[in-house]
A and B are shown apart, each in its own frame.
Chain A
Amino acid sequence: QKEVEQDPGPLSVPEGAIVSLNCTYSNSAFQYFMWYRQYSRKGPELLMYTYSSGNKEDGRFTAQVDKSSKYISLFIRDSQPSDSATYLCAMSSKDPGNTPLVFGKGTRLSVIA
């Protein structure tokens, strides 16, 4: 069993839809959780960074962490064609500034105009 599981998709939604992206993990030591967006042939771009359980909102994006279920989610409201990308979840057991990040495989999202 991989440490971080993420459905690779692809996920295709119409413009304006609410998108839900999810990851599960097995290592209960993970405390720091990140979502990165990666456009084709580009580097990952940090979207959301949360510590421990709870919700965090930034514009159209909401990150949720449920440590009791070892489950994290990213919600995108009012999705746009420009949101079409691969979304990677990442996590670490200690401060991610000096600890390796463990990534999921990424979910490919297409938002159709």
Chain B
Amino acid sequence: ETGVTQSPTHLIKTRGQQVTLRCSSQSGHNTVSWYQQALGQGPQFIFQYYREEENGRGNFPPRFSGLQFPNYSSELNVNALELDDSALYLCASSSLPDTQYFGPGTRLTVL
């Protein structure tokens, strides 16, 4: 298992609500990436943080936002939840020159 942890494991929200997902990086990693994985699909890149700064963003609307803290942990915030936001949200941590290691994910259901 990687040292990447995510909380909570599962979450149920209703349309229009806001949600915050959390991620702790593997020790020694300074970069965190967030991905959305819909059922039956591969993960889609949301954004990446390096040393507390956003370092790239995928094709997701501004209601998806994030933070990285000095200890390299991270949060993903989603406002105005829509039904299509139901997915597995994955956090991955990394540090050059290695690749990304994923956490177990948070399963979000929007009703």
Contact = CB atoms under 8 A, between A and B. Distances in A.
A81 interface: no
Interface residues of B, number: 33
Interface string A75-113: 000000000000010100001111111111110000000
Contacts of B101: 46
Given A43-B105, A44-B90, A44-B102, A100 B96 contact: no
Dominant SS at the A interface? Answer: loop
Nearest to A96: B99
Given A42-B104, A46-B99, A49-B99, A98 B43 contact: no
14 contacts: A6-B42, A8-B40, A34-B99, A42-B105, A43-B103, A43-B105, A46-B99, A96-B94, A97-B31, A98-B96, A101-B99, A102-B45, A103-B42, A104-B42
Interface of A: 4, 6, 8, 32, 34, 36, 41-46, 49, 88, 90, 95-106
